[in-house]
Amino acid sequence: MTWLPADFVHPTHVELPGGGCHLRPITGADTDLDHPAVMGSQARLWSIYGEAYGWPRADMTYEDDLKDLERHAREIEAHESFNYALFDDAETALLGCVYIDPPERQDADAEVSWWVVDDRVGTDLERAMDALVPQWIAESWPFERPRLIGRDLSWKEWLALPKLA
Q: Where are the domains of the chain?
A: 19-156
User: What does the pLDDT read at residue 1?
Assistant: 45
CATH of domain 19-156: 3.40.630.30
- Where in the chain does DSSP place strands (E)? 14-15, 21-25, 82-88, 94-101, 110-116, 146-148
Residue-wise pLDDT for 98-117, tens only, equals: 999 999 999 999 999 999 99
Task: Give the Cα separation of 125 and 120 in Å (integer).
Answer: 7
Read off the pLDDT of each residue in 84-95 and give the average, rounded to a whole number. Answer: 98
Asked if the model's pLDDT at residue 118 lies above 90, the reply is yes
User: What does the pLDDT read at residue 128?
Assistant: 97
User: What does the pLDDT read at residue 13?
Assistant: 98
Residue-wise pLDDT for 5-47, tens only, equals: 999 999 999 999 988 999 999 999 999 999 999 999 999 999 9
Q: What percent of the chain has pLDDT over 70?
A: 99
Task: Give the Cα separation of 92 and 87 in Å (integer).
Answer: 7
